[in-house]
Amino acid sequence: MTAANDGGHAAQVLRSRPDAIPFVSNDESGASGAGLAGTVKKRRSRLAAFKQRNIYVGGAIVLAVVLVALLAPVLAPRGPQDTDYGARLKPPSREHLLGTDNLGKDTLSRVMYGARIDLRVGILCVLTPFVVGLALGCLTGYYGGRIDSVLMRLLDVVQAFPFLILVIAIVAVLGPGLRNMYIAVALVAWVTYARLIRGEILVAKHREYVEAARAMGMRDRRVIGRHILPNVISSAVVYAMADIILYIVLAASLSYLGLGAPPPEPEWGALISEGRGFMATAWWLSFFPGLAIVITGIGFSLLGDGLADALRPSRR
Amino acid sequence: MVPVLIGVTIIVFVLIHLIPGDPALSMLGIHARPEAVTALRHNLGLDKPLWEQYAIYLGNLVQLDLGDSIKYKQSVASLIPKRMTVSLLLIAYATVLTVAISLPLGIMAALKKNSIFDQIVRSLLMVTMVMPAFWIGILFLIFFSIKLGLFPVSGYGEGALDHLHHLFLPALTIALSIAPILVRSLRGSILEAMSADYVRTARAKGIGEQVVVTAHVLRNALIPAVTLLGLSVGYLMGSTVIVERVFSLPGAGALLVDSISARDYPVVQSMTLIFAALVILVNLLTDLAYSFLDPRVRLG
């Protein structure tokens, strides 16, 4: 019952600022003003159940991908670099469920090992921007003044660049490779988090509970850490969930351009890229690694959506 | 806008100084003769103090001098127009397709809220949203170009119609990666407009549902969609870099990627700058369009 109402409330809050959260399903909500209270309630509880399902399904997919990544050496039928010259460019079959490449490497095994690389990339890419953006967003949002205006100018400048192009340009000068991609992403992506958190703090700092905390004579650090942050962090967490898949796609794209993981690595983008050369004869080489990205992406999107709904109500 | 532009030039300027070690040596390769490296270093002005280098860089920019390409042995400014034409055509084409896909889908999904159609559209969008553009591109190539032979595998073609034929799959690839965001926003803003007071008033006056939707709901719901489309131009440009590569198009994005592997940093630098300048320009145009579409907004 409470959960049902919260679900509706969350949807409403989200709808009021759809720009902040990319993968949010802002439907139903309280839009249906007409109708008996009973039907509304029933609808809402059904909606809440649906949103719960998002968390479970998304979580299950993500968990499965994580398990595959962790257990790849056990689960994969072969090693990621094991060649078998007797079975080159074989289509999917009982023996090679997802086919083989031009060196007889098993696609399934390579995709499974690829999960290790891509998940790590996604998470590492989000981590630094998240922490840096959070810190700077807190600082400037809470104190305002000159640091704030300087930071805002900087955000405007960085965001004037197309994200992908700036990342590519930085990787280009630093040299190809995933490590340099982390650096490039860290240099560029913190702006989104800083803007997001700053916006949330600007709203939160005038709330009664913050004023009460201040009136009680608490130090700024405690006010931010104990009272503001827990209330504003959820949107950043939700954003980060959705961001993970964007970085996996980014890493794949950079590998495709030859700027990410070097060729023998079974990174998903690199696998798709390898397959491009054989697309007329061996479609499976490009298809399945891409499918892995899509499945992982759906998992994180659903999880992000579900978390958005589950976390939001706690702000009141 | 001007401070942002200046900031952008600073970042682009700093970019070349991020190169580990000596940029001149890095561009020419380790086997280059020392005299050549010194000459290039001098040519690029790398032996001057940093602020002076930046002043020279800005001065050159004002005169549209973007430096010389190392790979093509000609001025960067002369390389760009031809490449940019391809990319701009691709971007415009992709934008048209994006609108052609999103508008009907968004409207239908909102009007038939929670119907099977709405559910299918939204599930499909969740899938297309996480599909890497180059993967869609390769699948299109495999299916439409190789299996069905409907479209060319690569290249740009000759003449306007041929261009449109060649660019269809690339443009569709880009459109598919942007449409989800637009449909989602459109659907949301239509639903919001539907529950607004002025719509209730219009209905109460006895206006037909069709007029209510077109004249009252859409007129208001399209405004955020236009803004969003304007804001996604940066994303669009990022996609061209990859999609041009997949479909072997001789565009500006491909020039950027080729220059990276050739360590042709003046071109990398200039392309980054131009893409950013384009984004700033489009954002400005979006703001203008916004005030044009919504009489309540007036730019001060």
The tens digit of pLDDT for each residue in A241-293 reads 888 988 999 999 999 888 888 878 899 999 998 888 888 888 899 999 999 99
Confidence grade of residue A36 (pLDDT, cut at 50, 70, 90): low
- Looking at residue A130, its pLDDT comes to 93
- Looking at residue A65, its pLDDT comes to 94
Mean per-residue pLDDT, A289-301: 93
**Are B269 and A169 an interchain contact pair (Cβ–Cβ within 8 Å)?**
yes
Give the closest of A273, A283, A297 to B142, CB-based.
A283
Which numeric CATH code is attached to B76-293? 1.10.3720.10
Q: Which 3 state secondary structure label does DSSP give B68?
A: strand
A1: exposed, middle or buried (Cβ count in 10 Å: 0-12, 13-18, 19+): exposed
**Are B234 and A170 an interchain contact pair (Cβ–Cβ within 8 Å)?**
no
Contact list in A for residue B279 (CB cut-off 8 A) is 160-162
In the 3-class helix/strand/coil scheme, how is B123-175 assigned residue by residue? HHHHHHHHCCHHHHHHHHHHHHHHHCCCCCCCCCCCCHHHHHHHHHHHHHHHH
B272 lies within 8 A of chain A by CB: yes
CA pseudo-torsion sign B104, B110, B114, B119: positive
Q: Scanning the structure block, which residue is given the tokens 């003044």? A: A145
Q: What is the pTM of this model?
A: 0.81
Longest Cα–Cα distance of chain B, Å, equals 84
Residues B24, B34: Cα–Cα separation, whole Å: 10
For B19-63, write each residue's pLDDT tens digit: 777 778 777 877 888 888 888 888 777 778 888 888 888 888 888
Residues A160, A140: Cα–Cα separation, whole Å: 20
Count of A–B CB contacts within 8 Å?
168
**Are A164 and B241 an interchain contact pair (Cβ–Cβ within 8 Å)?**
yes
Q: Domain segments of chain B: what residues?
A: 2-62, 76-293
B132 lies within 8 A of chain A by CB: yes
**Are B192 and A175 an interchain contact pair (Cβ–Cβ within 8 Å)?**
no
Helices A229-256 & A284-311, crossing angle to 10 degrees? Answer: 170
**Are B188 and A18 an interchain contact pair (Cβ–Cβ within 8 Å)?**
yes
Ranges under pLDDT 70 in chain B: 297-300
Q: Which 3 state secondary structure label does DSSP give A100?
A: strand
State the average pLDDT for chain A. 80
* pLDDT at residue A27 tops 50: no
3-state helix, strand, coil in chain B (%, to 5): 75, 0, 20
B245 lies within 8 A of chain A by CB: yes
The answer to whether residues B229 and B186 touch, using CB atoms and an 8 Å cutoff, is no
**Are B241 and A158 an interchain contact pair (Cβ–Cβ within 8 Å)?**
no
Residues A171, B173: Cα–Cα separation, whole Å: 25
Mean per-residue pLDDT, A112-125: 91
**Are A290 and B241 an interchain contact pair (Cβ–Cβ within 8 Å)?**
no
**Which residues between 86 and 125 in chain B have a beta carbon less than 8 angstroms from any beta carbon of chain A?**
113-114, 122
For B239-250, write each residue's pLDDT tens digit: 888 999 889 899
Phi first, then psi, for residue B68 (nearest 5°) are: -110, 140
A293 lies within 8 A of chain B by CB: yes
* pLDDT at residue A79 tops 70: yes
| Residue percentage of chain A with pLDDT more than 70 | 82
